[in-house]
Structure 1
């Protein structure tokens, strides 16, 4: 969650080195496979690739930034003796990969020690990230932005100072069967449309999963996101986000936070041992203040939180939660948005009564006005 830039990977420009187009080298080709070994550069294989080709990368360690400007290619690491090839930024290189195109798959790599981001694809279509492990890759690990058709699966991310898996300003997204731990935020869907986040294990982050609509981005909407069948637990890591960034304000102990997103469905998940709250549905004012002038709708609407499992959430809310006039609970709502609904049993909640889909409009409006008044007085 950084200010919108033409290409966010270059925000750490002091670390960017000059890249020269590599000389063409003779790599082994087997049909539509280009074989890259540790004595070569992966970039050489990308330069050689044609539509339909797979750049097959042998086990070993590679220190480079990949520049991808082709479509219909696969960059695949070959697993040997239970080890994937490694892209190592050596804490000097900015990004592991930057590029744009259509029908691109990156599969089977360990990405570590980059200073800006892991794998960034921008303004691309039909992109797949599979079997990727990101460790200490800067602000983001897996990072598609302004893309249509995104699949992230069977990946793991750790040590990321913003979001381990971040999908922003994109459409038609699936994030499934991943593990996110030890980050500021595990998974973030920001200003995006039509996202499914399912069957992920998210733990030991400051915040587990975020669904945000933020101002001052190319996309002005966040709608139709489904969070289902995830295990979101023990997200109590100290928030080590960059001071002044939006993500630095995510409370330690956050399970799931929906901020200004519309039509977000949350179901079938397990929220356990998150010290501030299990699920929060809030507007932008809690982060930006009531005097902020927005270019987006700051209110969450039509969110539907139901049939989840909650255990031991909200037992020690972070200071920022308490200072906002709230407290720890399984469910937290800042009383913004008439049309949000909850259907959960045996849970703690703030406020104590949350509207369900079977409520009449009069009951809903009365409940809203009462809690809104109390929140304004005591919050």
Structure 2
């Protein structure tokens, strides 16, 4: 963890000047939670626009948020959320039942849950550590204008921070480390196979993503930005993934990220070959811009290894009209730039600084 991220998390709960600086309005109350008290009880008592402040300590529970405009805020990494000692576990792939099952039964730490007809709007989750859950640290389903910042999602069984069926989210200045799959996972739907959906401008910015299977996975989405993140020590850095459904994933910008030495080994799954040494991958995506990233030292012998890889999809979906421009690449293997698609698909490589490409001539 860099000094910048440590400093940010230390004051992410706004103890650096804003918490308590002004009295709460009559309409918007602050609910304080101390060690030994229930976070969920305070969340249940909160009205739209209220803030729940969780003081330093370890809290063994899961928390479900359905109140619009709610802020759930810790005081930094010393506010720690862990599973209840007897929390029930649910197998992966049961996300569709999230609205019926409790957050703890799903194996998740914090669940922000809306419905298809009525998304939960303007929720903020900030300034805490969420660790040790069997599935997901922080999960949003059916959210709009969600803001997650200053959260450390560490050693959760599946994803650190994740969302589906959500729009216009902001994930900024978080740490997602040593999670079983992606540190940050964003998808249109976890369970249903269908075309990509528009996020209306979701932003993934300035996060530290380290030691996960994949740093960031963007799956079957459009209109999203992944920028200025530090992505290192994962099996793979960034995945932009589409499939045979339409519309394709795309209209995504991956810019100004540090994607360095993602050389951890992860064994193959039912959907994907083994991973090691992968920087940024586009597969089944269109009109995505990969620009001004620093991609170094990602080396391996996986079919997806390399610096920036346009990968020919396992399900036969082409990647079309993507642009890879003005990136700095070095020490990636088997090559800095790899394009597995035929030239007719219109993928462009321009202005990149690198030494080796497949096919030759892309640098």
TM-score normalised by structure 2 residue count:
0.77
Residue deviations 1:289-319 (CA, integer Å, cap 9, x gap)? x5xxxxxxx11111100111111110xxxxx
Q: Quote the offset at 1:167 in angstroms.
A: 1.1
**Equivalent residue number for residue 94 of structure 2:** none
Root-mean-square deviation (Å):
2.0
Within-5 A mapping of 1:32-47: 32-47=29-44
Q: Quote the offset at 1:78 in angstroms.
A: 1.9
The answer to whether the 8 A contact 1:90-1:113 is kept is no
Within-5 A mapping of 1:343-358: 343=350, 344-354=352-362
Q: Aligned pair 1:108/2:127, yes or no?
A: yes
**Equivalent residue number for residue 210 of structure 2:** 181
Q: Quote the offset at 1:220 in angstroms.
A: 4.5
Within-5 A mapping of 1:44-123: 44-79=41-76, 83-89=77-83, 92=87, 94-98=107-111, 99-100=113-114, 101-123=120-142
Within-5 A mapping of 1:5-20: none
**Equivalent residue number for residue 371 of structure 1:** none
CA 1:86/1:252 → structure 2, altered by over 3 Å: closer, same or farther?
same
**Equivalent residue number for residue 225 of structure 2:** 196
**Equivalent residue number for residue 306 of structure 1:** 325
- Structure 1 CA distance for aligned equivalents of residues 68 and 143 of structure 2: 9
Q: Quote the offset at 1:30 in angstroms.
A: 8.4
Q: Name which of 188, 205, 214 aligns with 2:234.
A: 205
**Equivalent residue number for residue 249 of structure 1:** 273
- Structure 1 CA distance for aligned equivalents of residues 354 and 239 of structure 2: 24
Q: Quote the offset at 1:347 in angstroms.
A: 2.7
The answer to whether the 8 A contact 2:328-2:354 is kept is no
In terms of Rg, which structure is larger?
A: 1
**Equivalent residue number for residue 360 of structure 1:** none
Q: Aligned pair 1:340/2:347, yes or no?
A: yes
Residue deviations 1:22-49 (CA, integer Å, cap 9, x gap)? xxxxxxx985211111121110111011
- Structure 2 CA distance for aligned equivalents of residues 334 and 110 of structure 1: 40
TM-score normalised by structure 1 residue count:
0.74
Q: Quote the offset at 1:230 in angstroms.
A: 0.6
- Unmatched tracts of structure 2, length 5 or more: 1-23, 88-103, 115-119, 189-196, 300-304
Within-5 A mapping of 1:127-276: 127-169=146-188, 171=199, 172-215=201-244, 220-240=247-267, 244-246=269-271, 248-249=272-273, 251-275=275-299, 276=305
Aligned to 1:149, what secondary structure does the other structure show? Answer: coil
Q: Quote the offset at 1:215 in angstroms.
A: 4.9
Aligned to 2:37, what secondary structure does the other structure show? Answer: coil
The answer to whether the 8 A contact 2:330-2:354 is kept is no
